[in-house]
Amino acid sequence: MYNNVYKIYSRKGETQLLKQSIIKRGNEISHYLIKIRRDLHRTPELAMEEFVTKKKIKKYLDEIGIDYIEFEHHRGIMAYIYKKNAKTTIGIRGDIDALPIQEIKESEYKSQNDGIMHACGHDAHTTMLIGACKLLYEIKDELNVNIKFFFEPAEEEGGGAKFFIQDGLMENPKVEYMFGAHVQGYLEVGTIESKYGTLNASADSIWIDVKGKRGHGAYPQNGIDALVAAAQIITSLQSIVSRNLAPHEMGVLTLGKIQGGDAGNVICDEVKIDGTLRTLDKKQKEFMIQRATEIIENTAAAYRCKAKLIVEKDGYNPLKNDRELIDIVKNNAEEFLGKGSFIFKENPSMGGEDFSFFVENCKGAFFHVGCGNKEKRITSLIHTEDFDIDERCLSIGAIMHVLNVLSFN
């Protein structure tokens, strides 16, 4: 009995020493990580077109010496460290694609690809994951767990996490725990943010098709005006959030695109509307879809039109964090960065996050890494043309990934 207790405490002590050495080593490679991030930032690529990005990731992984798998049908890569007698497998995810945004901030690492930019920080996420690969590979002989490093393509469009799941990479060995991170400009560098339970809303694209009958604008009685019906549908749909959800419930229904009509003197026969639906749980999502369908079909009928709602089949589900894993992230953040460095996010984000596909297959924790710096005027939010990061966040993110893994060692 006493020998077993000694082994437990001995193992905990060894893990703490290992964590301390990782923090020191992670800080030592900060310039290495900055160089990688700037290299990636110069050559951003859109979803499913990450050819150069993939080539660069492979180069860095080859330099580390770590094993990895690549794929023909997408640009993702999975690096891995497998231990013969490991009983637990941990996954870490970093996304690699960029956005169709023109970068306006001048720097030595400004995007060289016109109209494309790492405006969401995926270059930072990729760098953090490469850093985690390097740090964990350097201590591979000390590890008692398997680790899978997912370099995910197409997060911004299509949800590249699904590719890894469809490829069976969450199995053999089965990933039991999963960690992911996202930089945020509203958080000061040196802080970590997350919350228990739902962190991100579901995200579903929706399309509305309204059909009427074409006619001459001078003789409206001979046509059926799809534009008038569409206008009433758009107005009526706003009542779902304001009048059908309880005041404490969060939901978003945004219609951002409308197309219809051929000429100012022709009765419009068809209107197409594109939008997005965001909810925090499956039941609420089903209710809002049902209510939207009723409003769309009945409002169209009142104006002698026909209309239908189409909802994306494979939209992002809500991202729900595991409480115990968030406690691990919190404890590691405060041991590493100091008390008060972990911030509990008050409300879920209505933005979608395809990390949700991973946590449907295992326990997971997703957290935000502060990359802002008010003194340096690095305060722009993600998805903006002047977004940038305080590059100290790179080593922080890499170290956090490794500390989370070592919590299971």
In a 3-state reduction of DSSP, which class is residue 169? coil
pLDDT at position 214: 97
Side-chain half-sphere exposure of 153, counting CA atoms within 13 A: 23
The reported pLDDT for the residue numbered 117 is: 98
User: What is the model's pLDDT at position 12?
Assistant: 66
Q: 5-64 pLDDT, tens per residue?
A: 434 444 666 778 899 999 999 999 999 999 999 999 999 999 999 999 999 999 999 999
User: Residue 279 corresponds to which tokens in the numbers above?
Assistant: 């909810």
Residues of the chain scoring pLDDT < 50 = 1-10
Query: Mean pLDDT for the chain?
Result: 94
Q: Which pLDDT does position 159 carry in this prediction?
A: 82
| pLDDT tens-place string over residues 157-202 | 878 999 999 999 999 999 999 999 999 999 999 999 999 999 999 9
Q: State the DSSP string of 96-150.
A: ---BS----S--TT--SSTT-B-TTSHHHHHHHHHHHHHHHHHTGGG--SEEEEE
Report the Cα–Cα distance between both ends of the chain, in Å, rounded.
22
CA separation for the pair 193, 181 (Å, rounded): 10
pLDDT score for 168? 95
